Amino acid sequence: MAAPRPAPPLPPRAAQDPDSAPEMSLGLEEHLSRAFQDKLRLQMVPAWDSASLLPSRRLLLKRREVVEVERALQAQREDFQQRMEHLAQRRQQLGQREEQLRDDTIKFNAFLKAMSARRQRAQQRAGEERARAAQRGAEALRLQQELERLQRRRERLGQRLQSLRVFGDFLQDVRAATGQFQDVPSMLAHFGALVEGRAVLLQQVEARQAALAQGRAQLQQCCEEADSELTSSNEEALQLHARLEAARSDVLKGETHWAQLQGAAAQTTLLLGQIRMAVLSLFQLTSMRLEVPKDVALEDTEAQLDVLLLCMQDLAAICAELGLCSPVPATTATHPRRHRAVTVPPNQE
């Protein structure tokens, strides 16, 4: 049997370029498939003339062929297993390399973002520095202008002081003449305090005069309001007195009407009691004569009236059947009937 051909080496570019990992795995699978097919092509065993060989010889030859085929298949299985393990290792290495490259890419992107943020912060700081420098320049220019203005004011004040020196000499003469002050500023402060006190006193006098005028106006208004309130109070007192007299007459009328109502109520109560007693007497008489429900309370007048009405309706129906009188109209009671029908005993029919 021919020896198995070795598999061609893997292309080195697949291990170096992580982006071509899918193409490399596809090429490896095709390569292994072709190598496996080549190894399965066993060397043809020379044909023997079965007629010239003994059966035992043919059996030995067949067994030898089977053993060689098994041996070749075992070698091919081991080689294929080794290649598959090597391929799995390569795939694992490529996966690890891909993960490492992905991590490196993420780190590089983070580094780029950090560098971009630093560059932006540096640009922002540079802009702030330029703005501060411009602000300092503007502040320096403003201070220079302020200094020039103060110098001009100093010159003007010096000129004015020179022109007012005569008044200073006059004030010195006044201080010396009075003999009460140590220097001119204390004298000026004293006179300034006097002027301020005079102004305060004038303001107080004006405020008190205004308050006095306002008080007079309020007093006049209060007097007018008191007079109007007194007039309205007198009128209201007269109206209240008239209303009191009218209320007293209404009370007398109400008391009279109440007494009449009480008398009418007493008469109505007496009449109602008489009606209740009459209904109770009729109910007891009916109970003695007819078979009516016995569970009616003595205080339930409406139930007793219902029973009496049922009795009258039954008697009217009997009379109508006998042709003696017209039927009695139905009851107009608002509450539901709770009693059984009234029946006449057989001995009274």
pLDDT tens profile 18-75: 444 444 455 656 665 665 565 555 444 454 555 566 788 888 888 888 899 899 899 9
- Could you tell me if residue 313 is inside a domain? yes
- Could you tell me if residue 275 is inside a domain? no
Q: Give the pLDDT mean for 228-242.
A: 89
**Under 8 Å between Cβ of 23 and 16:** no
- Could you tell me if residue 151 is inside a domain? no
Domains in the chain, number: 2
Which of the listed residues 107, 127, 147 is the one where a domain comes to its end?
A: 127
pLDDT tens profile 268-320: 999 988 988 888 888 888 777 777 676 777 778 888 888 888 888 888 888 88
Predicted TM-score of the model (pTM): 0.28
More confident site: 338 or 224? 224
| Segment of 1-5, 208-212, 344-348 carrying the highest mean pLDDT | 208-212
CA–CA gap between residue 136 and residue 217 (Å, rounded): 64
- Could you tell me if residue 75 is inside a domain? yes
From 148-157, 159-168, 224-233, 324-333, the region with the lowest mean pLDDT: 324-333
Which of the listed residues 127, 149, 180 is the one where a domain comes to its end?
A: 127
* Domain range enclosing 316: 290-349
**Under 8 Å between Cβ of 279 and 299:** no
Instruction: Tell me phi and psi for residue 81, to 5 degrees.
Output: -65, -45
- Could you tell me if residue 119 is inside a domain? yes
Q: At what angle do helices 55-163 and 21-40 cross, to 10 degrees?
A: 170
**Under 8 Å between Cβ of 305 and 275:** no
- Could you tell me if residue 308 is inside a domain? yes
More confident site: 248 or 29? 248
- Could you tell me if residue 213 is inside a domain? no
Which of the listed residues 74, 92, 127 is the one where a domain comes to its end?
A: 127
Q: Tally the residues of the chain.
A: 349
pLDDT of residue 153: 92
| Segment of 105-119, 156-170, 321-335 carrying the highest mean pLDDT | 105-119
- Could you tell me if residue 196 is inside a domain? no
